Amino acid sequence: MDIGLLIIIGILGVLLLLVIGLLLYKQFLRYSTRIETPNGISSLEAITLGNLKQWIFIRGMDQNNPILIFLHGGPGEPSVGLSSSRRLDAELIKHFTVVHWDQRGGGKSYSSSIPVESMTLDRLVEDCNELIDYLRNRFDTPKVFIVAHSSGTVIGIKTAHKYPEKIHAYVGVAQIINDCEHETINYNFIIEEAKKLGNLKHQAAIEAIGLPPYETPNKLWEKANYIVRYGGMMADFSIGKMIGLVLPYLTSPEYSLVEGIRTLMGKGRNFTTYALWKELTEVNFTREIDSIKVPIFFFEGKHDMITPTVVVEDFFDQLNADRGKRLVIFEHSAHYVMLEEKEKYLNTLIDIVLKENQESQPNYP
């Protein structure tokens, strides 16, 4: 038999085994994380928000527990397909009914037919508000908790600011405050790190990127490679951790292999980021928000250089929050505190955010 044909057959055989392995692992994960409590819920659903079909994944041990909506970052890097919705939420779902939402343009909610003009921050805020109302009515509750990460914090804090009457408390994890200031600080960080290491090649490449603002996301993504290398995304960076961050898109029971591959390859991320780019680069909450009417928490990694903590600290000091504010610093984390200091992240949500802000109110009529 021709050697080339043997190689092709071998490659196809390996791919087939990989696919079978992934499908089997999906079933194992579905079975091993199943919810069997009498009033529990584990439901993947398509709902309509802003005249567009979007996907949510609801999990909880008791549907009478308060609702927690998690707003993913990216933009366009969804949480339904991540292990967070099964593995990392294992403790949270004992205390909350957790809702992961693939936002317009991301993950299962991506479609090539989505009008680009519908991709605005205001539209995403209204999508979020419609989701809140859907959950309030469905679970007969007056308010929800919102936990947002990275670019999801833009939607989260704008929603909390506009609709405070519907929200128990808002938690911004790696909160975006002033995009241009973030990008300037992390640019200077990677330049200095390259100089400390005497890496002239990196230094020249970073200088070629230049200071913000950037006309497209391309330079931001180039710069992100160096932020990752120098510990500004994960304080204890390793290739294995990076793989662990994205591999769940392929192993999630909620995603087909096609959806997982599409998400892993950045289809939704690219579409969403380009569509929102101008608005995102103009975000500056120091000008937009000086007070807020919900209890507000910021969870910040000390070593975060994607959204540098120093910017959040300055905003926090100036923010007028009549119902309380708290800044929680994660000493051993960068941008992903929920992964790097998982126990502290969970304990703070359960023992502080929930216990201090779950109001005793009659059910929402």
Average pLDDT taken over every residue of the chain: 89
Q: Are 22 and 257 spatial neighbours (Cβ–Cβ below 8 Å)?
A: yes
119-161 residue pLDDT tens: 999 999 999 999 999 999 999 999 999 999 999 999 999 999 9
**What is this structure's pTM?**
0.91
- The rounded distance, in Å, linking the Cα atoms of 228 and 231 is 5
294-329 residue pLDDT tens: 999 999 999 999 999 999 999 999 999 999 999 999
Tokens of 314: 């300055």
- CATH, domain 41-181+236-357, list 3.40.190.10, 1.10.1500.10, 3.40.50.1820, 3.75.10.20: 3.40.50.1820
58: three-class secondary structure by DSSP = strand
Running DSSP on this structure, what letter comes out for residue 213?
Answer: P
Neighbours of 341 (CB within 10 A): 19
From 73-87, 113-127, 276-290, 293-307, the region with the lowest mean pLDDT: 73-87
Tokens of 161: 């600011």
Helices 200-209 and 217-229, packing angle to 10 deg:
150
147: three-class secondary structure by DSSP = strand
**Residue 240 binned pLDDT confidence (cut-offs 50, 70, 90):** low
Neighbours of 133 (CB within 10 A): 15
**Residue 31 binned pLDDT confidence (cut-offs 50, 70, 90):** confident
Average pLDDT over residues 334-361: 87
In 233-295, beta strands by DSSP E: 291-292
Q: Give the dihedral sign, CA 347/350/351/354.
A: positive
Q: Locate the domains of the chain by residue range.
A: 1-31, 41-181+236-357
Closest by CA to 49, choosing from 90, 102, 89, is 102
Tokens of 320: 């007028």
Residue 74's pLDDT is what?
A: 84
Q: Are 304 and 333 spatial neighbours (Cβ–Cβ below 8 Å)?
A: yes
Q: Token match 């992903």: residue?
A: 336
Whether the pLDDT of residue 361 is over 60: the answer is no
H or E, element range at 70: strand 67-71
Contacts of 225 (CB under 8 A, 6+ apart): none
Contacts of 231 (CB under 8 A, 6+ apart): 237, 303, 305, 334
- The rounded distance, in Å, linking the Cα atoms of 130 and 149 is 20
